[in-house]
Amino acid sequence: MNDRGDARAWLVVPAILIVGVLFAYPVSWLLARSVTEPVVGPQNFKQLIETPVYLKALWNTILISGSVTLVCVLLGYPLAYTMAHAGERLRRLLIFVVLIPFWSSILVRTFAWMVLLQQKGLINKTLTDYLGLIDQPLTLIYNRTGVLIGMSHVLLPFMVLPLYSVLTRIEPSLTQAAASLGAPPHRNFLRIYLPLSLPGLVAGGVLVFVIGLGYYITPALLGGPGDTMIAQLIEMQIADFGNWGLAGALAVILLLGTTTTFVFVSRSLIGVR
């Protein structure tokens, strides 16, 4: 390490100033609103807890985010596994494909689902007209289904990439050793591979869950009134009611939920090994 690196310590100052003034201060300001507006006191939190509509929205948020996490695990694990075991070229192609949604606008992706899930959208058209499987088009949008599909689509890369990263670090000799010791493929997977992949699953799952908690665009466009999530509540309080106190309280709760999940999971991960 350098002994005279002190001058270079000042290099962090611009970033600190920018983030401090333009982010940390406003966020603290907002969080403070929760207990200072309209008067000092915890009345905003009381209101949240006592109003069923808000409670339902909070519960919805957790439920939806949890369901999306589950879907992403089911869809993402086989994909990550294939990526980890693929040849060089296929692997690079798959990584690229997984990254495309990552780098594209969420709005565009959600809009794409609006096109697909409509009454007369592609999916319904395929099912009714082309395949003749059903008579009436399914309601796939402006309800829970639409939100789940849309959010899973957007959040899947967040599951696949951390999981893939862990899977590639699993020594191939471990499953080979298990086979040489008499483990048939399914027991090999369940007893050796799956436990070793757990850290990646957890990392991906936490990421998906936490990001899902704070999601705004997708539920706003694809969900119905019964699917309102906490981010939409915050927006409503500010744009429609100008109630900064309540908005701040909601922000506090969301932030608490995010941080507790992180801390809780990293604690239990560290505890295991």
Partner 1 sequence: MTKGLLQLDNVSKVFDTVTAVDRISFTLAEGEFLSLLGPSGSGKTTTLQMIAGLTHPSSGAILLGGRPIGPLPPYKRDIGMVFQNYALFPHLTVARNIAFPLEMRRMRRTEIARRVAAVLKLVDLPQFEARYPQQLSGGQQQRVALARAIVFEPKLLLMDEPLGALDKKLREQMQLEIKHLHKRLGVSIIYVTHDQDEALVMSDRIGVFNQGRLEQIGTVEQLYEQPTTRFVAEFVGETNVIRGEVRHGANGCCTLETAEGPLRGRAHHAFTIGSAALISVRPERLRLEAGHALRSDGDGIPGHICEVIYMGRLRKYVLDTQGGQKLIVARQVAGAEAKSFAVGDAVIATFVPEDAVVLQDRHEQGGD
Partner 2 sequence: MTGAYPERLWPSLRAAFCLAVIVFLVSPMVIVAIVSFSSAPFLTFPPPGLSLQWYRKLASSSVWLDAIATSATIMVPSATVATAAGTAAAVGLARARIPGAGLIASLIMAPMIVPVIITAAAMLGVFRAWGLQGTRAGLILAHTTLAIPYVVFTVLAALRLVDDRLESAALTLGATRWRAFWRVTFPLILPAVLSGLLFAMVISFDELVVSIFLSSPTVRPVTVQMWSDVRGDVDPTIAAIGTLLLAFSVCALLLETALNRQRTRPLETAGTGPKTGPRTGPRTGPRTGPRTVPRAAR
Quick check: 177 binds partner 1 (CB under 8 A)? yes
Question: Of partner 2, partner 1, none, which one sits near residue 158, judging by CB under 5 to 8 A according to partner kind?
Answer: partner 2
Quick check: 273 binds partner 1 (CB under 8 A)? yes
Quick check: 85 binds partner 2 (CB under 8 A)? yes
Quick check: 171 binds partner 1 (CB under 8 A)? yes
Quick check: 179 binds partner 2 (CB under 8 A)? yes
Cβ 6 to partner 1 shortest distance, Å:
38
Single out the segment in contact with partner 1 by CB under 8 A; choices: 61-69, 123-131, 171-179, 220-228: 171-179
Q: Cα separations (Å) of 101 from 10, 18, 110, 112?
A: 37, 29, 11, 12
Q: What angle do CA 23, 239, 248 make, to 5 degrees?
A: 50
Instruction: Give the list of residues 6+ apart from residue 271 with CB closer than 8 angstroms, or none.
Output: none
Cβ 148 to partner 2 shortest distance, Å:
13
Given the complex with partner 1, which of 171 and 240 has the nearer CB atom?
A: 171
CB-count exposure of residue 65 (10 Å: 0-12, 13-18, 19+): buried
| Per-residue mark of binding to partner 2, 44-73 (x: CB under 8 A) | ------------------------------
- Closest CA relative to residue 201, chosen from 29, 46, 80, 50: 80
Quick check: 184 binds partner 1 (CB under 8 A)? yes
Quick check: 271 binds partner 1 (CB under 8 A)? no
Q: How many CB atoms lie within 10 A of CB 118?
A: 18
Question: Of partner 2, partner 1, none, which one sits near residue 231, judging by CB under 5 to 8 A according to partner kind?
Answer: partner 2
Among 41, 185, 195, 226, binds partner 2 (CB under 8 A): 185
Which residues in this chain contact partner 1 in the complex, by CB under 8 A?
A: 171, 173-174, 176-185, 187-188, 191-192, 195-196, 273
